[in-house]
Amino acid sequence: MERKQFDAVKEKRTHEKKSKQKRKIGLLEIYPVKGITLKDHVIIETDYQRYYAVFFEVKKYDLNLLDEDETATLTNGFWNFLKQYNGSVKEIYMNFPENNYAQQKYLEHKIAKAMSSYQLNRLRLELDKLKFIENGFDKNSSYLVIYGKTESELNMNIKKFQFHTQLYHSRQLEQATIKKILTLQNNRGGIK
């Protein structure tokens, strides 16, 4: 019987590689979001259970600009909502890069058709402002997510939530915005 030299370091490395390969689970296997319905309801699966969620963009308030009565009304309205609504709610606060691409394209179109040097200079100045804003500023956004175990329960919860629309001035988000939020939450390379 031929004897082989034992290399503990090499043995440990091969053992670690095998255990890492076994433990390596892809993001898609653990990612709970399974899809988005035609009604822009997010399908979530965890532990073999299915849930549904809907994203709302809510109005933002600067409490420093409100007087005491307005602040008290707003705060009391929020607390009343939380006391009366018994479903699950998630608040999301995010910074999005400012997106004024459409305005920039419009100004570039106007620059191409500018008749006078004054008009050309004014349009270029406005275009530079938009580019500066896009590169230097973030848009603060806040969202509310409502959940339900079934789509019918989710629809009931949406109706309960919409009872408080005077407080939130909310609107349901479309699929593209939901995808951006989920991408940013999972830190997958920023917005595409």
The DSSP result for 5-45, as a single string, is ---HHHHHHHHHHHHHHHH---HHHH--EEEE-TTSPEEEE
What is the tens place of the pLDDT at every residue in 4-51? 666 666 777 777 776 665 555 555 566 788 888 888 899 988 888 899
The CATH number for 47's domain is 3.30.70
- Output the CA torsion sign for 82, 84, 85, 86: positive
In angstroms, rounded to a whole number, what is the distance separating the alpha carbons of residues 55 and 42? 8
pLDDT at 191 exceeding the cut of 60: no
> Does one domain contain both 37 and 131?
no
Closest to 161 measured CA to CA, from 151, 171, 173, 150 = 171
In angstroms, rounded to a whole number, what is the distance separating the alpha carbons of residues 58 and 169? 6
Higher-scoring residue by pLDDT: 45, 96? 45
> Does one domain contain both 113 and 163?
no
> Does one domain contain both 107 and 44?
no
Q: What percent of the chain has pLDDT over 90?
A: 22
> Does one domain contain both 84 and 172?
yes
Q: Are 146 and 130 in contact (CB under 8 A)?
A: no
Would 173 be classed as within a structural domain?
yes
pLDDT at 189 exceeding the cut of 60: no
Q: Which domain holds residue 159?
A: 32-95+140-187
Would 9 be classed as within a structural domain?
no
Q: Are 139 and 97 in contact (CB under 8 A)?
A: yes
> Does one domain contain both 37 and 125?
no
Model confidence, pTM? 0.66
Q: Report CA-CA distances (Å) from 83 to 71, 76, 77, 87.
A: 18, 10, 10, 10
How many domains, in total, are found in the chain? 2
Helix (H, G, I), strand (E, B) or coil at 91: strand
Would 17 be classed as within a structural domain?
no
Most confident of 23-32, 133-142, 161-170: 133-142
> Does one domain contain both 73 and 146?
yes
> Does one domain contain both 91 and 114?
no
CB atoms near residue 71 (< 10 Å)? 14
What is the tens place of the pLDDT at every residue in 59-78? 888 878 889 998 898 888 88
